[in-house]
Structure 1
Amino acid sequence: MNKLQTYSNLIKQEAKRLGFESCGIAKAKFLNEEASNLEQWLKNGYHGKMQYMENYFDKRLDPRLLVEDAKSVISLTFNYFPETNQNNSAFKIAKYAYGEDYHHVLKSKLKELTFFIEATIGEIHGRVFVDSAPVLERAWAQKAGLGWRGKHSLLIQKNKGSFFFLAELILDIELAYDTPFVTDHCGTCTKCIDACPTDAILPNNTVDGSKCISYFTIELKDEIPTSMKGKFEDWMFGCDICQDVCPWNRFSKPHTEEKFNPHPDLLAFTKNDWEELTELVFKNVFKKSAVKRTKFSGLTRNIRFLNDYK
């Protein structure tokens, strides 16, 4: 076994020890095939009012513009599938937001992984990313051999489904690279397309982000268009419909990360509890949650919308 393969194996072993379920490594280079897709997606206005998606176009496609002399992109997955779901009669939030904000939890683990690499290999330069910078994480995960992108555009793994976070570590050292995942195991299945109540999932493996329930309930700061009335199926923060109906998610198993366990009140709340939500309760239940991103005003706006257009 050569030195680069030994280093890669050690990194993967440490990633597993830190709780990451899978780890793959790809050579850092320009994402040529993604360039035209991203350009067309933006031209079609599928990003809605997410103006930040128009920024750093070149950096999204080339990790060497994010980390000087970058040579490797390490992609990792971290399970967030919950053991218990919300009360069936409640307004719903996406499962990824049940516990503490994943940005902070995973960044801490990535920094530990970085320290390990430095201690094992020597001086390195790099950056860690958790859905917070212009990185096309699904493309890199696929190039690192971790899975394929479903029709809902999310990464899927045959033995785990899609309820996991993606994270990246871009480094200026060469490593042994994994074989890209090229097979699409969705076949002729269209369950996610058929189930999407706002028709956000298009037939060509593309998502019109401007029609997604997650966009309306999290990203959009204006009032939700009345054209969407009655289409949210009680989702008040994010949406899991396309994942819930995906046959591959029958393989999802509950996570073991204590920080992703939900606040007890979150699981017990009924619609009435949400309708009477106060800012004090909001701050208590979502103290360290990603739900804080929409703020109390945003969440109550979403609840009002659901109530006004039942």
Structure 2
Amino acid sequence: MYNNKPKYSKLIKDEALRLGFMACGISKAEFLEDEAPRLENWLNKNYHGEMKYMENYFDKRLDPRLLVDGAKSVISLSLNYYTDEKQKDPSAPKISKYAYGNDYHHVIKDKLKALTLFIEENIGAVAGRAFVDSAPVLDRAWAKKSGIGWIGKNSNLISKTDGSFFFLAELIIDLELDYDDPFQTDHCGTCTRCLDACPTDAIIAPQVVDGSKCISYLTIELKNEIPNQFKDKIDNWMFGCDICQDVCPWNRFSKMHQEDAFAPADGLLDLTAKDLTEITDEVFKKVFKGSAVKRTKLAGLKRNVDFLKPI
């Protein structure tokens, strides 16, 4: 019987790159044995803070076959969002690069739909699901398993050729494909720049982040008031944080993204410290209309900006 797996795998990877994804790797859908004790330990130490959803679907996080009946393959994809554009007012509260443009969830979901349609039209009917950072899937573990990169000391996935300013997503399908070799080598070496630079000491050990101390968590995920212990430690970030990536030597290989949807929203980079300190509902709705920043709502953004003010 003719083996179509190499042909199908190449078709999928070529189409993924044509759709604008930066990398595509494929791994066998199976139980993530190495991740089970790590995840359990992380949860037991309450490093997830108020992200109680992380406690749900423990088994499904570790086995994609529980998410998709008959799952055979996990197609991991990365999408570049790096830009060297910056907010024009250096004193303005800062926004993470990934939130400059349209909400990545929508952008990537559209690409995954297109990839799924391509598979069905060129290979045949498949059953599966697309995942973009909103379901119990361990993105970085699958990306490493499919050869895209290694997990750095800051717990981000890092690529030797592209750095770490990219999103991860998956298609989990019931089609058997050719599987890539896992990325074996850790290229962080003795470097500790990310650990040294984190102002809240959230990176407590290589590849272990206390999420409850992370600036991204404090400014986005945390729904209650930001604890006073972090006063003067948030480094003027009002949405997300790029510090551990900005200091990473591998990000000298980051390239400007080519995704029109990630271009900064009109007026966003022009907002001054005064504009953001006095932000109105009208400005919020206009500038952050299609942005991931909407997750915090206006009240959350105001909470963050108020927290940045000197005592």
2:266 to 256, 261, 264: 264
The reply on whether 1:117 has 2:114 as its aligned counterpart is no
Q: Which residue of 2 aligns with 1:139?
A: 141
Deviation at 1:108, TM superposition (A): 0.5
Q: What's the CA shift string for 1:273-293, capped at 9, x where partnerless?
A: 111110110000000100000
The reply on whether 1:29 has 2:56 as its aligned counterpart is no
The reply on whether 1:66 has 2:40 as its aligned counterpart is no
Gaps of 5+ in 1: none
Q: Which residue of 2 aligns with 1:231?
A: 233
Percent identity of paired positions between Structure 1 and Structure 2? 66
Q: What's the CA shift string for 1:152-174, capped at 9, x where partnerless?
A: 00000011100000010000010
Structure 1 segments (4+ residues) deviating >2 Å: none
Q: Which residue of 2 aligns with 1:250?
A: 252
Deviation at 1:308, TM superposition (A): 3.9
Report the Cα distance in structure 1 between the residues aligned to 2:122 and 2:310, rounded to whole angstroms: 58
Gaps of 5+ in 2: none
The reply on whether 1:48 has 2:46 as its aligned counterpart is no
Q: Which residue of 2 aligns with 1:282?
A: 284
Report the Cα distance in structure 2 between the residues aligned to 1:31 and 1:213, rounded to whole angstroms: 28
Q: What's the CA shift string for 1:198-247, capped at 9, x where partnerless?
A: 00002232000010001110011101111110001100000000000000
Report the Cα distance in structure 2 between the residues aligned to 1:139 and 1:42, rounded to whole angstroms: 17
Report the Cα distance in structure 2 between the residues aligned to 1:52 and 1:21, rounded to whole angstroms: 29
Q: Which residue of 1 aligns with 2:85?
A: 84
For 1:191-210, what aligned pairs fall within 5 Å after superposition?
Answer: 191-210=193-212
Which letter does structure 1 place at the counterpart of 2:17? Answer: K
Compare 266-275 and 68-77 and name the one that shifted more: 266-275
Report the Cα distance in structure 2 between the residues aligned to 1:138 and 1:210, rounded to whole angstroms: 19
2:222 to 220, 223, 238: 220
Compare 83-92 and 277-286 and name the one that shifted more: 83-92
Report the Cα distance in structure 1 between the residues aligned to 2:265 and 2:128, rounded to whole angstroms: 35
Q: Is the 8 A contact 1:83 1:255 kept in 2?
A: no
Q: What's the CA shift string for 1:71-107, capped at 9, x where partnerless?
A: 0000000000124111222110111111000000100
Q: What secondary structure is seen at the aligned counterpart in 2 of 1:264?
A: coil
Q: What's the CA shift string for 1:91-148, capped at 9, x where partnerless?
A: 1011111100000010000000000001111110000000010000000000000000
Q: What secondary structure is seen at the aligned counterpart in 1 of 2:294?
A: helix
Report the Cα distance in structure 1 between the residues aligned to 2:94 and 2:237, rounded to whole angstroms: 5
Q: Which residue of 1 aligns with 2:14?
A: 13
Deviation at 1:264, TM superposition (A): 3.0
Q: Is the 8 A contact 1:149 1:155 kept in 2?
A: yes
Report the Cα distance in structure 2 between the residues aligned to 1:258 and 1:272, rounded to whole angstroms: 29
For 1:173-188, what aligned pairs fall within 5 Å after superposition?
Answer: 173-188=175-190
Q: Which residue of 2 aligns with 1:160?
A: 162
Report the Cα distance in structure 2 between the residues aligned to 1:127 and 1:109, rounded to whole angstroms: 13
Q: What's the CA shift string for 1:33-82, capped at 9, x where partnerless?
A: 10000000000000001100000000000000000010000000000012
Q: Is the 8 A contact 2:99 2:291 kept in 1?
A: yes
Report the Cα distance in structure 2 between the residues aligned to 1:232 and 1:107, rounded to whole angstroms: 32
Deviation at 1:2, TM superposition (A): 4.0
Q: Is the 8 A contact 2:194 2:244 kept in 1?
A: yes
Report the Cα distance in structure 2 between the residues aligned to 1:107 and 1:189, rounded to whole angstroms: 35
Q: Is the 8 A contact 1:197 1:232 kept in 2?
A: yes
Report the Cα distance in structure 2 between the residues aligned to 1:121 and 1:169, rounded to whole angstroms: 15
Which letter does structure 1 place at the counterpart of 2:98? Answer: Y
Q: What secondary structure is seen at the aligned counterpart in 2 of 1:32?
A: coil
The reply on whether 1:148 has 2:150 as its aligned counterpart is yes
